[in-house]
Amino acid sequence: MIMPTVKTRIFALGCLFALASAPVVQTVAQNGQYIYDVQDGEADIFGQLRYEKNVNGTGLVKLNTANPNGYKWVRDYGYQAGVTPITTAGTYVGSEYYAYETTLYANTLMPRAISVVDVNTGEYTAKREIVNSTTEAPLILDEMTYDPKTNRIFGLHYDTSANKSYIYEIDRKTLDIALVATIDKVLFYTLAADNGSLYAVRKGGMKSYLSKIDISSINKTTKTCEYKDLGNTNVYLGDYSQTMEFDKTTHRLWWMAQTSDGNAYLVELNPQTGAQIKKEFIDNEMQLLGMGIPYQYVADGAPSYPRAFKATADAKGALSAQLSWTTPSVSYLGAKLSALTGTKVYRNDQLVYTSTETTQGKSVAWTDRPSTDGYYIYKVVPYNAAGDGVYKEFAAYVGEDLPGAPQNVTLTTHGGNAEITWAAPAEGKHGGYFDNASVKYNVVRMPDNKVVVEGTTSLRATDAVSVQKGYSYIVTAVNKKGVGASATSKTMSFGPEDSVPFTSPLTTQDDFDRWVTADKNNDGNTWTFYKPTQTTTYDRCDQNADDWLYTPALKFEKGKTYQVRYTYSSANWVTPDKHEQVMEQMKVWLCAEPIATGATKLIKETGEFHTASNIFLYGKDNFQTETTGSARIAFQACSEANHGQIYLKDVSIREYSTKDLSVQALTGSQLVNSQSQQTFTVDVRNEGSATVSDYRVLLLNADNNEVLGEAKGKTVAKDETVEVAVDWVPGAEGTIKVVAKVELAGDTYPADNVLATPFEVKISAADADKWLTLNTDNSWGWRFPFFMLDPYSQCQALFLEKEMQKKGIEITGMRFLYNGKNAEAYTFPARIGIKNTTRTDMLDEDGGNAMFDEDGFTTVFDGNITIQGNANDLELVINLDKPYKYEGGNVIMKFECPLGTQYIKDSTKHPDWHMMERDGNPHIAYCSGEDDGENVWGELLMPFISIAYKDNGAAGIFAIGGDKTGVTRSGDSLLFDECADEARLYSATGALVASAQRANALSVAGLAKGIYVLNLVKEGKVQSLKVII
Are the C-beta atoms of 79 and 131 separated by less than 8 Å?
no
Pinpoint the residues of the chain covered by CATH 2.60.120.200.
498-655
Least confident of 139-143, 218-222, 564-568, 762-766: 762-766
Least confident of 137-141, 448-452, 646-650: 137-141
Pinpoint the residues of the chain covered by CATH 2.120.10.
44-292
Which residues have a Cβ under 8 Å from the Cβ of 116 and sit 6 or more positions away? 96, 97, 98, 99, 124, 125, 127
1028 vs 6, which has greater pLDDT? 1028
The domain 307-398: what is its CATH number? 2.60.40.10
For the segment 259-316, what is each residue's pLDDT rounded down to a tens digit?
Answer: 998 899 999 999 999 999 999 999 989 999 999 999 999 999 999 999 999 999 999 9
CATH 2.60.40.10 fits 661-764, yes or no: yes
Q: What is the pLDDT of residue 898?
A: 96
Instruction: Tell me how far apart the alpha carbons of residues 419 and 811 are, in angstroms, rounded to a whole number.
Output: 68
Q: What is the pLDDT of residue 999?
A: 79
For the segment 733-748, what is each residue's pLDDT rounded down to a tens digit?
Answer: 999 999 999 999 999 9
Reported confidence tier of residue 778, pLDDT bands at 50, 70, 90:
confident
Q: What is the pLDDT of residue 960?
A: 36
Start-to-end C-alpha separation, the chain: 63
Backbone angles phi, psi at 283, to 5 degrees: -65, 150
Instruction: Tell me how far apart the alpha carbons of residues 653 and 502 are, in angstroms, rounded to a whole number.
Output: 5
Pinpoint the residues of the chain covered by CATH 2.60.40.10.
307-398, 407-494, 661-764
CA angle 800, 802, 806 (to 5 degrees): 110
Secondary structure, 3-state, 908-970: HHCCEEEEEECCCCCCEEEEEECCCCCCCEEECEEECEEEEEECCCEEEEEEECCEEEEEEEE
Average pLDDT over residues 586-615: 92
Asked if residue 501 has a cis previous peptide bond (ω within 30° of 0), the answer is yes
Paired with 494 in beta bridges are 469
In terms of DSSP bridges, do strands 759-764 and 671-673 run parallel, antiparallel, or are they unpaired? Answer: parallel
530 vs 579, which has greater pLDDT? 530
Q: What is the pLDDT of residue 676?
A: 85
Instruction: Tell me how far apart the alpha carbons of residues 914 and 759 are, in angstroms, rounded to a whole number.
Output: 18
For the segment 306-331, what is each residue's pLDDT rounded down to a tens digit?
Answer: 999 999 999 999 999 999 999 999 99
410 vs 970, which has greater pLDDT? 410
Instruction: Tell me how far apart the alpha carbons of residues 784 and 66 are, in angstroms, rounded to a whole number.
Output: 54
**Res. 134: pLDDT tops 80:** no
Average pLDDT over residues 151-163: 95
The percent of residues above 70 in pLDDT, for the chain, comes to 94
Asked if residue 785 has a cis previous peptide bond (ω within 30° of 0), the answer is yes
SS3 label, residue 512: helix
Average pLDDT over residues 368-396: 98
Give the torsion sign (CA, 1005, 1006, 1008, 1012). Answer: negative
Report how far apart, in Å, the C-alpha atoms of 577 and of each of 2, 14, 574 are. 10, 19, 9
Instruction: Tell me how far apart the alpha carbons of residues 1010 and 979 are, in angstroms, rounded to a whole number.
Output: 25
Instruction: Tell me how far apart the alpha carbons of residues 417 and 465 are, in angstroms, rounded to a whole number.
Output: 7
The domain 955-1028: what is its CATH number? 2.60.40
The domain 772-950: what is its CATH number? 2.60.120
Average pLDDT over residues 669-689: 92
Q: What is the pTM of this model?
A: 0.70
State which amino acid sits at residue 201: V
Q: What is the pLDDT of residue 587?
A: 98
Q: What is the pLDDT of residue 975?
A: 76
Instruction: Tell me how far apart the alpha carbons of residues 963 and 711 are, in angstroms, rounded to a whole number.
Output: 11
For the segment 510-553, what is each residue's pLDDT rounded down to a tens digit?
Answer: 999 999 999 999 988 899 998 888 999 998 888 899 999 999 99
Give the torsion sign (CA, 959, 961, 962, 967). Answer: negative
The domain 44-292: what is its CATH number? 2.120.10
Q: What is the pLDDT of residue 347?
A: 98
Residue-by-residue DSSP string for 699-734: EEETTT--EEEEEEPPPB-TT-EEEEEEEE---SSE
Reported confidence tier of residue 966, pLDDT bands at 50, 70, 90:
low
Q: What is the pLDDT of residue 6?
A: 41
Reported confidence tier of residue 864, pLDDT bands at 50, 70, 90:
very high
953 vs 925, which has greater pLDDT? 925
For the segment 403-414, what is each residue's pLDDT rounded down to a tens digit?
Answer: 999 999 999 999
Average pLDDT over residues 1018-1022: 74
Q: What is the pLDDT of residue 1022?
A: 72
For the segment 414-446, what is each residue's pLDDT rounded down to a tens digit?
Answer: 989 999 999 999 999 999 999 999 999 999 999
Q: What is the pLDDT of residue 969?
A: 67
979 vs 609, which has greater pLDDT? 609
Q: What is the pLDDT of residue 24?
A: 30
Are the C-beta atoms of 396 and 313 separated by less than 8 Å?
yes
Reported confidence tier of residue 958, pLDDT bands at 50, 70, 90:
very low
Least confident of 452-461, 838-847, 941-950, 979-988: 979-988
The per-residue b/e assignment along 642-681, b for 16 or more CB within 10 angstroms, e otherwise, is: bbbbbbbbbbbbbbbbebbbbbbbbbbbbbbbbbbbbbbb
**Res. 988: pLDDT tops 80:** no
**Res. 16: pLDDT tops 60:** no
Average pLDDT over residues 970-987: 78
Instruction: Spell out the CATH class of 407-494.
Output: mainly beta
CATH architecture observed for domain 498-655: Sandwich (2.60)
Least confident of 102-106, 166-170, 649-653: 102-106
Q: What is the pLDDT of residue 971?
A: 65
Are the C-beta atoms of 621 and 613 separated by less than 8 Å?
no
For the segment 182-217, what is each residue's pLDDT rounded down to a tens digit?
Answer: 999 999 999 999 999 999 999 888 789 999 999 999
Least confident of 204-213, 707-716, 856-865, 976-985: 976-985
